[in-house]
Structures are given as structure tokens and as C-alpha cells.
Amino acid sequence: MDNRLNVTYITFGGHVEVRRYRYLYFVIMFTVYILIICSNFTIVSIIVIHKSLHEPMYIFIAALLINSVLFSTVIYPKLLIDFLSEKQIISYSACLFQWFSYYSLASTEFFLLSVMAYDRYVSICNPLQYSIIMRKTTVNTFLIVAWILPACECSVPMLLSAKKEICKFNLKGILCNSTVLKLHCVSSRLLHIYGLVVFASAVLLPVLFILFTYTRILVISYRCKGVRRKAAQTCLPHLLVLINFSCLIAYDVLLARLKLDVPITLRLIMALQIVTYHPLLIQSFMD
């Protein structure tokens, strides 16, 4: 707590040997961040420039790549600053904002993955009605809802947490995630329940919907030899991204609700999986 400015600071305690390897960490993470930005925006630019790619499938891919860059930007700049700082700290208000942005954009990712699954289901299973169902208005509505709905859902716990008193000032991680709940002097049952409800609606339901649509796609493609190859090329990258991200987010959300003594090295590895591996894996959609 800084009494002069009346600002509460939180210390990140999840860094491993940061003083010893700070420059190595910085170079690696800075390189990955630049790679994420350049590669994703290169693909987005190609989609924007070529009118032949102005179709729902590629528009959703572009939205997913832009969301990936935003998701990375919520984490990387602060992480890079921490590597070069003597103290890895963040103000409580900034921590809440990172927490909000982190989960809001993660929820947007699942929504976009669900929309892409629906788009591919219609294109493969009902191709004659595709142009009627996936109109420009429908696509724009999906994109708007994909960012606004998760933001509204995630703003509730952030506003409630802003009013709660905190008694702990050390996070066992390298970013502000669900473990922020452990800083509160009094654990809020309402926040925990609400978090699980949002997790169910933003993660579990989209995952079940995607699995259902892909099951239907595989059943139909099995009957029609002509679409088997297309279905395989369409579904496999999508499922790979979905499974990877679902497992990482499930671990991240449940970490604050389960009394597990997770080693600091494992925490760091899991956090880096989310911020490095996943944003790069999304590009598999363009293969």
C-alpha cells in the first residue's frame, strides 16, 4: 500500500529465477509477442485485401486472430515490464482490469469458435441454404455479440471485487487471473458461484455445442465420400484449438476454487501455455 498516493499494489510471486534470467525471459517473450502480432495481422491483412476471402468463414478467422492479438496485449506488455523490473508489482485497480480483459477476451474466443463451428456445419451439412442463413447481417450480429456479451458477464465480478477489502497482497502467478479472489479478506460465495455460472455458459456450453455440431458433420461426411476430406480439414484444426484452450482455461478458473498446492514452476508453465502456445496455435485455421 502506497499511503502517499493511496494506491494498493499487488506483488506477482509466480516468477521463477527472474533476477537471474530476466534478459533471457524478456528476449524470448518479446520475440513471441512480435511473432504473434506480425503473423496474425499478416493473415488478417490478406483477408481484408482479397475480396474473394470476404466470406463468413474467413471473417470469423480474422476476428479470432484479432481477438488473439488483443488477448496477448492484455498480458505481454506488463509481463515484459516485470521481467526488467526489480519488483513485479501492479496496482489493484490495474490488476482488476487485466483480470476483466483476460476473461472477457477468453470468453469471446469460445463464442467465436462456436460461431465458426456453426458456420462450418451449415456449409457442409446444408450448403444450399448457406447463403440465406449466413447473411451479412447475421455475421455482423455474431461478431458484435461475441465481444459485448462476454464483457458484460465479466464486468460483474470486477465491479464487485473493486468494492471488497483485500488482506493479501501477493498473487501466486505472473498475471491477474481467478486467483485474485484469494486476496479478499472475506471469501465471497456469490463471486465463486457466479464465476462457475459464467464458466459453464462461456466454456462448457460452447464446447458441448461445438462437439455436437462436429459430430453431426462427421456423421454426414461419413455417408458422403465427397465431403469427407473437406470435413477432416475443417474440423481437426478447430478441435485442436478448442481442446487445448478448454483445458487451459478450466485449469485457470478452477485453480482459485480448489485448495491445491500447485508448485510455482508448474503454475508458470501453465500460464505460459496460455500466453504463448495458444495464440500461435490459432493460426492453424489457415492451414
- 60-104 pLDDT, tens per residue? 999 999 999 999 999 999 999 999 988 889 999 999 999 999 999
Strand partners, 11: 89, 170
Give per-residue pLDDT as tens, 171-181.
888 888 888 88
- We find that the CATH architecture of domain 9-286 is Up-down Bundle (1.20)
Range with the largest mean pLDDT of 8-17, 41-50, 155-164: 41-50
Q: Is 152 exposed, middle or buried (0-12, 13-18, 19+ CB in 10 A)?
A: exposed
Give CA–CA dist 9/23, Å, rounded: 24
Instruction: Quickly state the pLDDT bin for 4 (edges 50, 70, 90).
Output: very low
Cross-strand partners of 90: 10
The structural domains of the chain, with segments of one domain joined by +, span 9-286
Q: How far apart are CA 148 and CA 153, in angstroms?
A: 9
| pLDDT tens, residue by residue, 206-245 | 889 988 888 888 777 776 665 556 666 666 777 777 777 7
**Three-state secondary structure call for residue 187:** coil
pLDDT tens-place string over residues 18-55: 888 889 989 999 999 999 999 899 999 999 999 888 89
- Check: CB of residue 173 under 8 Å from CB of residue 183: no
Q: Which residues contact 185 (CB under 8 A, 6 or more apart)?
A: 164, 165, 166, 167
Alpha-carbon distance values, 154 to 10, 122, 259 (Å): 21, 30, 23
Reported confidence tier of residue 257, pLDDT bands at 50, 70, 90: low
The residue written with cell numbers 499478416 in the block is 42
Q: Specify the pTM.
A: 0.86
pLDDT interval class at 259 (50, 70, 90): low
Q: Report the candidate in 192, 218, 206 with the shortest Cα–Cα distance to residue 150.
A: 206
pLDDT number for residue 96: 92
d(CA 94, CA 65): 25
Contact present, 34 and 279 (Cβ < 8 Å): no
Q: Please state the rounded mean pLDDT for residues 162-189.
A: 84
| pLDDT at residue 189 greater than cutoff 60 | yes
